[in-house]
Structure 1
């Protein structure tokens, strides 16, 4: 069984989080305040998910003691 592509997945999620963060700033600058909270929440969720993928990647590399 092949290993899951943790690296590209975490990088893609972090890139999506970054794009959403820039969109948040652009929405705020353009006056779309009603959408800023939702997009900022989605951006934070992408960064958190990316971090959890990295943690899973680290834990999957450790030898199991079972």
Structure 2
């Protein structure tokens, strides 16, 4: 079976989260306060997905008992 690119996926999700946080700061500065909470929620979801990808990666590389 082909190796899943956990590192690339988690890094991409973290970069997406960082870009969205930056976008939220720009929205707040430009006066679009009503959208900041939604963008921050999506950024948090991207960070959470990145963390869960790393957890999956670590669990996948543990020796399997059986």
Which range, TM-score by smaller chain?
over 0.9
Matches of 1:61 and 1:35, distance apart in 2: 40
Matches of 1:65 and 1:31, distance apart in 2: 55
Report the equivalent of 2:28: 28
5+ unaligned residues in a row in structure 1: which ranges? none
Across the aligned residues of Structure 1 and Structure 2, the Cα RMSD in angstroms comes to 0.5
Report the equivalent of 1:47: 47
Alignment size in residue pairs: 66
TM-score calculated relative to the size of structure 1: 0.97
- Per the TM alignment, residue 2 of structure 1 is displaced from its structure 2 partner at its CA by 1.3
- Per the TM alignment, residue 50 of structure 1 is displaced from its structure 2 partner at its CA by 0.2
Report the equivalent of 2:8: 8
Describe the superposition over 1:6-61 as per-residue Cα deviations: whole angstroms up to 9, x where unpaired. Answer: 00000000000000000000000000011000000000110010000000000000
TM-score calculated relative to the size of structure 2: 0.97
- Per the TM alignment, residue 63 of structure 1 is displaced from its structure 2 partner at its CA by 1.1
